[in-house]
Amino acid sequence: MITVRDLVVILFDLDGVLLDTISSLKQAYKDVAQYLGIKPPTGEALNWAVQVGPQKALGELFPEEDNSKAKAVFNRYWRANIDSVSCFAGVTELLIALSYRKVMLGTVTSRNSSDTYSLLDAARIRSYMQTVVTWGHYRVPKPSPACLTVALQKTGKPPNKTAYVGDQAKDVLAAKSAGVLAVGAIWDVNASKDDLRNAGADVIAEEPMEILQLVTTGKISNRRQ
């Protein structure tokens, strides 16, 4: 349990926190394999791929193929699935509640700006994001705090009034380095509570609406913490 004073900004990772994109991403990798006429990646390989991102994953999953060709095929199948991506249960309600309380909201992601805005539009939550930071703004991967440094500059608010909600250890490490509250989110089945704790998460949220407690009571209280 951690007490937070005067929290006015909450920033969210995109994939695995706001949006349930994992199944669509995995399907895109399978579609690439089918298009290329090769054996589809194993479940373990797909779990790894969604963690590291397409830039690295495509080269490892399809090493015999021309990287530009594999990337083009992946992007084609992935964009075909964008409209089917939705928020996790409870996320939209959380954003509405936080907006009502005048909390500044934003997303910080390693995606490019085009895909980011397409996903936010598809999930109908773009209007809640007052700050959007994408790969083009910083180009240094987490756990570097560069992405959050940019976000803090955009919001104009200090780190001690800001929280970052992420589902991976690198999100927590970036938050800690940036001096913001590190909130580990585990409502995605791929998130690991142990990994988030070991990375130093200040608090773990098992459901989206628990984030609201940080604003209304200054703490998250969960019997399973």
Domains of the chain: 9-20+85-216 (3.40.50.1000), 22-84 (1.10.150)
Q: Which residue shows structure tokens 């309380």? A: 101
pTM for this predicted structure:
0.87
> Residue range 215-221: average pLDDT?
78
pLDDT in tens, 88-145: 999 999 999 999 999 999 999 988 899 899 999 999 999 999 999 999 999 998 999 9
Residue 204 to residue 1: CA distance in whole angstroms: 9
Q: Report angle CA 40, 44, 47 to the nearest 5 degrees.
A: 95
pLDDT in tens, 46-89: 988 987 778 789 989 998 877 788 889 998 888 888 888 999 99
Residue 192 to residue 96: CA distance in whole angstroms: 27
Residue 203 to residue 8: CA distance in whole angstroms: 17
